[in-house]
Amino acid sequence: MELIGRNEPCWCGSGQKYKKCHLAFDEKLEEYRRKGCVVPSHHIIKTPEQIEGIRQSAKINIAVLDYVAQHIRAGITTAEIDRWVFEQTTQAGGIPAPLNYQGFPNSVCTSVNDQVCHGIPSEEDVLKEGDIINVDVSTIYHGFYSDSSRMFCIGEVSPEKKRLVEVTKECVQLGLEQVKPWGFLGDMSQAVYDHAVKNGYSVVHEIGGHGIGLEFHEDPWVGYIFKKGTEMLLVPGMVFTIEPMINMGTHEIFVDDDNGWTVYTDDRQPSAQWEIQVLVTETGYEVLCW
């Protein structure tokens, strides 16, 4: 922790003296740390200006997903979705965050049926009636990052798949309702996990959400197999994603050897995922994009 004089400017950039601004906050954090809690470091706590920048980025992300929602249908390829995302994002002044991210070749991840996440759009993959697909869109705008994903049911989908998609959305909503300042990330995780398991589904262990805002992936890592009261303490100004992957069968997964990206369920049964980006506020949460 930085040592700041009481009369020096606060680390948060408010321009106020430390003693009038975050001193009491830091003392409270220190108490939690002494008790053995994982506490956030200052650099992942966003300033009001940064939050506004992230909001603008998130607006583009939402608009791009809205565009996809209006146009997605049986008969199109996932490469077509990739072109929509590239065009809509760049026309709005943004950059698709996945493009060239650690070598990812496209502007969006499209994960169909037994693909858990990080599906690569392709001219070969034609959407057909009965498919479920996750479209995961991430935007950089003036250096600020946003990230959210939605599920789409293509035409008439089996009741089993439809229920998986709906329950996964409920998991995110129930997790979200646990987000509050001075609560714990694990409160959210357990709500997600319990609802999935109660419905007969499994939760992917190895892949999760993340802090986000000034970079694509920041601390904390956001898993969904943690217990209430554990994991990082939540404080106002933190921004992270809730994006559980819920499987119909086994939680076990594997990564496609050929492309090094696409994640599949081990038993090739369907998987669903919704992703929202959340700000911790003074009183609870604000959903920045969905």
Verify binding: residue 109, ligand MF3, rule CB under 6 A: yes
Near ligand MF3 by CB under 6 A: residue from 101, 180, 215, 287: 101
Query: DSSP class of residue 6?
Result: T
Verify binding: residue 175, ligand MF3, rule CB under 6 A: no
Verify binding: residue 80, ligand MF3, rule CB under 6 A: no
Residues at the contact surface with Co ion, assessed by CB under 5 A:
147, 241
Query: Which residue of this chain has its Cβ atom nearest to ligand MF3 in the complex?
Result: 98
Q: What are phi and psi of 202, to 5 degrees?
A: -120, 160
82-90, 97-105, 196-204, 278-286 -> range binding ligand MF3 (CB under 6 A): 97-105
Verify binding: residue 150, ligand MF3, rule CB under 6 A: no
For 13-72, the DSSP string reads: SS-SBGGGTTHHHHHHHHHHHHTT-----GGGSPPHHHHHHHHHHHHHHHHHHHHHHHH-
Give the count of residues interacting with ligand MF3 (CB under 6 A): 12
CB of 235 or CB of 263, closer to ligand MF3: 263
Q: Helix %, strand %, coil % for the chain, to 5?
A: 30, 25, 45
Near ligand MF3 by CB under 6 A: residue from 201, 243, 262, 269: 243
CB of 22 or CB of 118, closer to Co ion: 118
CA dihedral (111, 164, 209, 181) in degrees, to 10, reads 150
Which amino acid, 174? Answer: L
Near ligand MF3 by CB under 6 A: residue from 80, 82, 125, 147: 147
Q: What is the largest CA-CA distance in the chain?
A: 65
**How far apart, in whole angstroms, are the C-alpha atoms of residue 248 and residue 60?**
32
- Residue 109 contact, options ligand MF3, Co ion, none, Cβ 5-8 Å cut-off depending on partner type: ligand MF3
Please calculate the CA angle 266-153-201 and round it to the nearest 5 degrees. Answer: 40
Q: Which residues bind ligand MF3 (CB under 6 A)?
A: 98, 101-102, 104, 109, 118, 136, 138, 147, 210, 243, 275
